[in-house]
Amino acid sequence: DQQVKQNSPSLSVQEGRISILNCDYTNSMFDYFLWYKKYPAEGPTFLISISSIKDKNEDGRFTVFLNKSAKHLSLHIVPSQPGDSAVYFCAASAGDYKLSFGAGTTVTVRA
Amino acid sequence: KAGVTQTPRYLIKTRGQQVTLSCSPISGHRSVSWYQQTPGQGLQFLFEYFSETQRNKGNFPGRFSGRQFSNSRSEMNVSTLELGDSALYLCASSLVISGANVLTFGAGSRLTVL
């Protein structure tokens, strides 16, 4: 049972524009949410996280928004750069040291 | 600081064989987790070890097992391999940042079962 869903398998965006990645979850016990980025032949790397007590967290070009009532979070990348082309995974934790991951969204930034 | 090291990076096995994968966590990290990544499925949690004890286990059959040694290094074993076990197996060691359990992943071991 997939508790974290990324319904868009791919996203294509022009360099300099905003990339918006979406993620939905079903488990109301999740209290931390994380985004990871993965390049081919490498392991996922941590990007940004947000606690369920917040609705926004920003780190440079990356901002994560959390809407608890809708059980929805999104990652905004502004401006998008060619190096941002990768697979992005949304993940959630219920405080038990286990992360539940979405299936990933492949982002392609066009020059 | 060295990252998470996984060996071997690539391996090919045949159905019915068994395989052992190794993971060395970041120095000082005592929690090690294993995940299976297959196309379209994202990362599926296998198990998590802390101080040589399994604290969490995912929904995988008993053919999947693991262990952690006193130096925090971990191994996972898959017995009686099936074609569907072909996947990227990722190990991660854990550091808590501001309340979030942030996993640092290795590059993975890509297993192909023929």
Query: What are B30-59's pLDDT values in tens digits?
Result: 899 999 999 877 899 999 999 899 988 999
Task: Please give the helix or strand (H or E) that residue A12 lies within, else none.
Answer: strand A10-14
Confidence of residue B98 (pLDDT cuts 50, 70, 90): low
The pLDDT of residue B101 is 76
Percent of chain B with pLDDT over 70: 95
Burial string for A39-55 (b: 16+ CB within 10 Å, else e) reads eeeebbebbbbbeeeee
pLDDT, tens digit (0-9, with 9 covering 90-100), for A27-41 = 999 999 999 999 998
Nearest by CB to residue A102, choosing from B42, B100, B106, is: B42
The pLDDT confidence band at residue B99, using thresholds 50, 70 and 90, is low
Across the interface, whether the CB atoms of B103 and A46 are under 8 A apart is answered: yes
Give which of B103, B105, B109 to mutate to test A binding, by max A Cβ within 10 Å.
Answer: B103
- Across chain B, mean pLDDT equals 92
Residues B9-20 have a mean pLDDT of 97
What is the DSSP code string of B47-103? EEEETTEEEEE-S--TTEEEEE-TTS-EEEEE-S--GGG-EEEEEEEEEEETTEEEE
CA distance B83 to B16: 9
Q: Does B8 touch chain A (CB under 8 A)?
A: no
The candidate with the shortest Cα–Cα distance to A87, out of A44, A23, A32, is: A44
Look-up: residue for tokens 């996972």? Answer: B76
pLDDT on residue A97: 77
The HSE-up count of residue A54 (CA atoms within 13 Å, CB side) is: 15
Query: Which pLDDT belongs to residue B2?
Result: 74
Choose the closest CB to B107 out of A43, A96, A103: A43
Predicted pLDDT at B70:
93
Indicate if the pLDDT at residue B66 is higher than 70. yes
Cα torsion for B51, A43, B57, A33, to the nearest 10°?
Answer: 100
CB atoms within 10 A of CB B17: 13
B45 has a chain A CB within 8 A of its CB: yes
B97 confidence band (pLDDT: 50, 70, 90): low
* Cβ pair B90, B106 in contact under 8 A: yes
Residue B28 banded pLDDT, cuts 50, 70, 90:
confident
* B90 at interface of A, judged by CB pairs closer than 8 A: yes
Amino acid identity, position A63? T
- Residue-level length of chain A: 111
Rounded to an integer, what distance in angstroms lies between the CA atom of residue A44 and that of residue A87? 9
Buried b or exposed e, range B64-101, using 16+ CB within 10 angstroms: bbbebeeebebbbebeebeeebebbbbbbbbbeeeebb
pLDDT digits (tens, 9 = 90+) for A59-109: 999 999 999 999 999 999 999 999 999 999 999 998 777 899 999 999 999
Categorize the per-residue pLDDT at B1 as very low, low, confident or very high, splitting at 50, 70 and 90. low
**In which band, very low, low, confident or very high, does the pLDDT at A53 lie, cut at 50, 70 and 90?**
very high
Chain B residues touching A96 at Cβ < 8 A: 56
Residues of B in contact with A43 (CB under 8 A): 4, 90, 92, 105-108
User: Would you state the pLDDT for residue A29?
Assistant: 93
